[in-house]
């Protein structure tokens, strides 16, 4: 076996009090559990709660960053990230008047972009292992909340079920369940191939929870996250070379079989909730703004292109319109774009709308300059993760690298279905972790 690829590796199995794993987990899904608690307490959700959650996470990360300030090694990705954040900031200021939408984006930037990236830059190898365990625990812990909420809430005809009284909570739940399934897969494939009763029982229990979470992923109807989760599990099975091949592909086949079985049953229970032509009401209502002439600029492809949003019968058709609008906006504003957060000004989605693709959004709003910076970071992250797996021998830290690589691909895929680069907390956290891996590998002289 090759030596460890060092990432400031610690020998302890559990993180200490000052580990960044806690704010990382908090930033990823703290708001989801807050949704559940506030809902079951019968309280009203306010922006103050949101600000408190992300503010607390940011404060923890700042304290940890100060404690580790002497350990920093600047990477190319760090440089691109700083330039990208500055570009977004200047774009908000220089492209016209600053309205409520621009203020909202400016408030998101430090908490959903800078903070998670910085948190990822503070990660140790043991923190990644601990993060997997916390994510698994959180994924299992959310399940009874979902069942109770579904049984006690009024019936809704179609679209995403508004878990915890939030229309888009199914997407957050899908993200948690997907990365929880990936974490379970990584641990299952990292276990020694022995026949000790304790190890066999542990693996069996993990399989059971993996299948249950897969069933819940289908049930909550977050289609994009189901696909993203399967992609992440497939990546794990492909790259986990420390495990025998029959175990790797057996795991993937079992997950696919459970998902297929649940998909075959679900339409009989709720015919439209998993139909590709079922559209959440929220987006349909937002589309009325530019169609009725409530914006001065209007859709770049003309009002006739907004019919899929007006009809609200196909989420695929709606996204196709948004993607085409992104490309047209980029074509007409190729260098600097139309300004951060201003996609909706020229879209059927209306002010504040986004194309549900981080790549297309960066090119549409910030042109070739901003889009190039974003793509550059993605390429560096991809190369950083691919290189270790090109080695003929197995890495000692293979399970952690597999998990991070699977997260990277999962978040990147989901971002092209749901994504807004200002709110892609998971993506920026993963990019920060990969930047740390890149810094430590270069420092060790292995690359």
Give the 3-state DSSP-derived string for the chain, with helices as H, strands as E and coil as C.
Answer: CCCCCCCCCCCCCCCCCCCCHHHHHHHHHHHHHHHHHHHHCCCCCCHHHHHHHHHHHHHHHHHHHHHCHHHCCCCHHHHHHHHHHHHHHHHHHHCCCCCHHHHHHHHHHHHHHHHHHHHHHCCCHHHHHHHHHHHHHHHHHHHHHHHHHHHHCCCCCCCCCCHHHCCCHHHHHHHHHHHHHHHHHHHHHHCCCCCCHHHHHHHHHHHHHHHHHHHHHHHCCCHHHHHHHHHHHHHHHHHCCCCCHHHHHHHHHHHHHHHHHHHHHHHHHCCCCCCCCCCCHHHHHHCHHHHCCCCCCCCCCCHHHHHHHHHCCCHHHHHHHHHHHHHHHHHHCCCCCCCCCCHHHHCCCCCCCCCCCHHHHHHHHHHHHHHHHHHHHHHHHHHHHHHHHCCCCCCCCHHHHHHHHHHHHHHHHHHHHHCCCCCCHHHHHHHHHHHHHHHHHHHHCCC
Among 65-79, 172-186, 244-258, the least confident range: 65-79
State the Cα–Cα distance between residues 124 and 309, nearest whole angstrom. 45
Band (pLDDT 50/70/90 cuts) for residue 82 is very high
Q: What's the mean pLDDT when you consider all of the chain?
A: 83
Amino acid 236: pLDDT: 95
Span 86-111, average pLDDT: 84
Q: Residue 97: give the domain boundaries.
A: 21-277+355-444
Residue 268 clears pLDDT 70, i.e. is over it: no
Which residues lie closer than 8 Å to 248 by C-beta, 6 or more apart?
A: 189, 237, 238, 240
Q: Is 343 a member of any domain?
A: no
Span 206-226, average pLDDT: 93
At 320-355, the pLDDT tens digits run: 999 999 999 999 999 999 989 889 889 888 888 899
CA 67 distance to own-chain centroid = 28
Amino acid 323: pLDDT: 94
pTM of this structure: 0.88
Amino acid 74: pLDDT: 86
Amino acid 295: pLDDT: 40
Band (pLDDT 50/70/90 cuts) for residue 249 is very high
Q: Is 288 a member of any domain?
A: no
Both tokens of residue 328?
Answer: 């047209």
Q: Is 37 a member of any domain?
A: yes
Are 112 and 53 in contact, with CB atoms under 8 Å apart?
Answer: no
Are 414 and 381 in contact, with CB atoms under 8 Å apart?
Answer: no
Q: Is 423 a member of any domain?
A: yes
Residue 111 clears pLDDT 80, i.e. is over it: yes
Amino acid 313: pLDDT: 66
Whether the CA torsion 73, 78, 79, 85 is positive or negative: it is: negative
Amino acid 395: pLDDT: 66
Tokens 């992440």 identify what position?
Answer: 232
Residue, of 193 and 433, whose pLDDT is higher: 433
Which residues lie closer than 8 Å to 100 by C-beta, 6 or more apart?
A: none
Band (pLDDT 50/70/90 cuts) for residue 447 is very low
Amino acid 276: pLDDT: 36
Amino acid 12: pLDDT: 44
At 391-422, the pLDDT tens digits run: 766 666 788 899 999 999 999 999 999 989 99
State the Cα–Cα distance between residues 333 and 107, nearest whole angstrom. 26
Band (pLDDT 50/70/90 cuts) for residue 3 is very low
Residue 138 clears pLDDT 90, i.e. is over it: yes
At 217-233, the pLDDT tens digits run: 998 888 899 999 999 99
Are 306 and 348 in contact, with CB atoms under 8 Å apart?
Answer: yes
Residue 158 clears pLDDT 70, i.e. is over it: no
State the Cα–Cα distance between residues 326 and 196, nearest whole angstrom. 55
Both tokens of residue 170?
Answer: 């199914």
Whole-angstrom Cα Rg for the chain: 22
Q: Give the CA diameter of the chain.
A: 70
Amino acid 105: pLDDT: 85
Share of the chain above pLDDT 90, in %: 53
Q: Is 25 a member of any domain?
A: yes
State the Cα–Cα distance between residues 54 and 31, nearest whole angstrom. 8
Share of the chain above pLDDT 70, in %: 82
At 18-75, the pLDDT tens digits run: 789 999 999 999 999 999 999 999 889 988 999 999 999 999 999 999 988 777 788 8
Residue 181 clears pLDDT 80, i.e. is over it: yes
Span 418-431, average pLDDT: 94
Q: Is 218 a member of any domain?
A: yes
Total of domains in the chain: 1
Span 283-299, average pLDDT: 45
Residue 280 clears pLDDT 50, i.e. is over it: no
């Amino acid at each position: 076996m090759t030596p460890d690829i060092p990432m400031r590796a610690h020998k302890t199995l559990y993180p200490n009090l000052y580990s960044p794993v806690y704010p990382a987990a908090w930033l990823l899904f703290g708001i989801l559990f807050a949704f559940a608690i506030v809902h079951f307490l019968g309280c009203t959700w306010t922006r103050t709660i949101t600000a408190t959650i992300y503010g607390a996470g940011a404060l923890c990360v700042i304290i940890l960053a100060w404690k580790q300030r002497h350990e920093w090694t600047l990477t190319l990705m760090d440089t691109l990230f700083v330039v990208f954040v500055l570009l977004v900031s200047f774009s908000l200021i220089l492209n016209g008047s600053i309205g409520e939408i621009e203020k909202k984006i400016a408030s998101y930037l430090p908490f959903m972009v800078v903070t998670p990236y910085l948190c990822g830059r503070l990660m140790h190898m043991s923190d990644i292992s601990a993060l997997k365990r916390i994510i698994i625990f959180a994924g299992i812990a959310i399940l009874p909340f979902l069942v109770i909420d579904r049984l006690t809430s009024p019936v809704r005809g179609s679209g995403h079920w508004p878990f915890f009284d939030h229309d888009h909570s199914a997407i957050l739940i899908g993200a948690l369940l997907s990365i929880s399934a990936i974490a379970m897969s990584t641990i299952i494939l990292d276990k020694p191939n022995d026949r000790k009763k304790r190890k066999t029982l542990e693996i069996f229990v993990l399989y059971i929870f993996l299948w249950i979470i897969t069933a819940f992923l289908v049930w909550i109807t977050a289609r994009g996250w189901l696909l993203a989760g399967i992609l992440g599990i497939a990546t794990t099975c492909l790259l986990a070379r420390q495990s025998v091949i029959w175990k790797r592909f057996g795991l993937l086949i079992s997950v696919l079989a459970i998902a297929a079985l649940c998909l075959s049953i679900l339409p009989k229970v709720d015919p439209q909730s998993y139909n590709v032509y079922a559209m959440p009401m929220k987006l349909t209502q937002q589309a009325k703004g530019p169609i009725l002439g409530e914006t001065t600029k209007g859709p770049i492809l003309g009002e006739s292109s907004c019919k899929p949003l007006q009809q609200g019968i196909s989420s695929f058709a709606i996204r196709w319109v948004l993607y085409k609008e992104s490309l047209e906006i980029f074509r007409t504003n190729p260098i600097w774009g139309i300004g951060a957060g201003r996609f909706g000004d020229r879209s059927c989605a209306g002010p504040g709308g986004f194309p549900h693709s981080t790549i297309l959004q960066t090119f549409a709003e910030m042109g070739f300059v901003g889009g190039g910076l974003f793509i550059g970071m993605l390429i560096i992250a991809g190369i950083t993760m691919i290189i270790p797996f090109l080695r003929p021998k197995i890495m000692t830290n293979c399970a952690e690298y597999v998990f991070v690589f699977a997260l990277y691909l999962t978040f990147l895929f989901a971002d092209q279905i749901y994504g807004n680069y200002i709110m892609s907390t998971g993506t920026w956290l993963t990019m920060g972790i990969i930047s740390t891996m890149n810094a430590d590998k270069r420092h060790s002289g292995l690359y």
